[in-house]
Amino acid sequence: MACNHNAKRGSQGERKKNKTKKEGRKPITITVEEIFAA
């Protein structure tokens, strides 16, 4: 039980990291678009 619980927590951590990367790329793209617009 403990091993499975830890594995699930690790999977959630990886998913959170992936979401953070995607969310981090979008603001950068928007910033670049704003620079070109300016």
| pLDDT at residue 32, rounded to an integer | 72
Provide, rounded to the nearest whole percent, the portion of the chain with pLDDT above 90. 0
| pLDDT at residue 14, rounded to an integer | 55
Give pTM, 2 decimals. 0.22
The number of distinct structural domains making up the chain is 1
Q: What is the length of the chain?
A: 38
Q: Give the confidence band of 33 by pLDDT, cuts at 50, 70, 90.
A: confident
Q: Where are the alpha helices (DSSP H) in the chain?
A: 2-37
Provide, rounded to the nearest whole percent, the portion of the chain with pLDDT above 70. 13
**Residue 12 lies in domain:** 1-38
The sign of the torsion formed by the CA atoms of 19, 14, 16, 8 equals positive
| pLDDT at residue 21, rounded to an integer | 58
